[in-house]
Amino acid sequence: MKGWHSSTSRCRVSSAFSSWEAATSCCPAGVGSWQRRRHEWPLAMSITDAEAMRAVTHAVSIEHGYAGWHPWFVLRAQGQDWVGRRALAAPMKSGCAFSLVDASMLRGRLLAMSAHGGDLHVAYEVAERSACVRFFNEAEACSDTSLVFPHPCMADDGSEFVVPSTAWEPTARLVETLDAGEQHFREFAIACLRSFAGPGSLVYDPACSTGAFIASVARAFPNLRCLGSDVSAPMVALATARFSEPNLDFAVACASQPRCIAGSCDALIVRFLNAEVVTRKEAEVYFRSLATLLRRGGRMFVFGHTPVLINPEAHAAELGLRLLARVGRLPGKNALFQFYILEAT
């Protein structure tokens, strides 16, 4: 987007000054947490400043350094783009739901977002909290709402940051964190499956991690065939030991070499095309490959514990997919999360 200049109105520059090392994200403990221990104190300060200065109609937030770009998001509903910055909860605890966005994170209507060297400039119309709540409620009720995180997690040099494979070793704490943080994803996916999955349908999770997700599907639908695979042999061994549903199988396999053939899947659980897990280029390659596994009428769910790196909608038509949904909703809480649903045509 083109840059925005303060000459059009009174402007306040709200800078994300320096690292606040005490904060960490609501993500698996130890999985890239050092990358996120930045910028959270300035965020709280800048929101307070914007609220206090009612005379200010516009603001520019400047995020110094690439490491702080990824929490910024754009919420689109009813033809309007509002910008926000996802607050990263401190520190990770059991029961913290992954990837939720709510009204308290919104700043106002987006005017421009532009890069200036290693700095990110975000210009927006300052909105009072009541206006943010009102827009968020409208977005929750709107069928075409989208939630986009324009920037991946980046290292200090601007390269995409991906956690090392050792970070996914299945420690007791990691397993507990992943299972607890994905509870809302599991419930939402199961509700979506009820609308189209029939007896004998094949549900495949090509990056099954701890196995809890695909196991929850197997328990909810005893008449479905469920398959989970993962590139990590220790993860697959853990999943096999934890879950023994008769309609569930696990296998060691990379998502680039899936354990089912093209056109055989009724539902794909895709929750690894995400920031810190793979790069954007890798995510696009995986997405295109996995799309071929769907049978006609089959559906792919794309989501994850960190922001989705690609825009599935941009590739849907060429891959023979129809976009059905972009976001998920959390019953009982005013919160949204990325959850793309695509159907093979």
Rounded Cα distance between 222 and 230, Å, is 22
Asked if 177 and 28 touch (Cβ cutoff 8 Å), the reply is yes
Kind and range of the H or E element at 46? helix 40-52
Cα-trace Rg, the chain = 20
Identify the bridge partners of residue 276 per DSSP, sorted by sequence position.
162
Query: Domain 165-344 has what CATH class?
Result: alpha beta
> Greatest CA separation found in the chain?
66
Asked if 181 and 212 touch (Cβ cutoff 8 Å), the reply is no
Q: Which regions in the chain score pLDDT beneath 70? A: 1-56, 88-95
C-alpha distances out from residue 29 to 34, 41, 272, 308, Å: 10, 20, 17, 19
Which residues have C-beta within 8 Å of that of residue 122, sequence separation ≥ 6? 60, 61, 62, 63, 72, 83, 107, 110, 112, 113
Asked if 68 and 39 touch (Cβ cutoff 8 Å), the reply is yes
Identify the bridge partners of residue 74 per DSSP, sorted by sequence position.
83, 148
pLDDT confidence of residue 18: 30
Asked if 305 and 27 touch (Cβ cutoff 8 Å), the reply is yes
Q: For the chain, what are the domain ranges?
A: 6-148, 165-344
Task: Outline where DSSP puts E strands in 138-222.
Answer: 146-148, 202-205
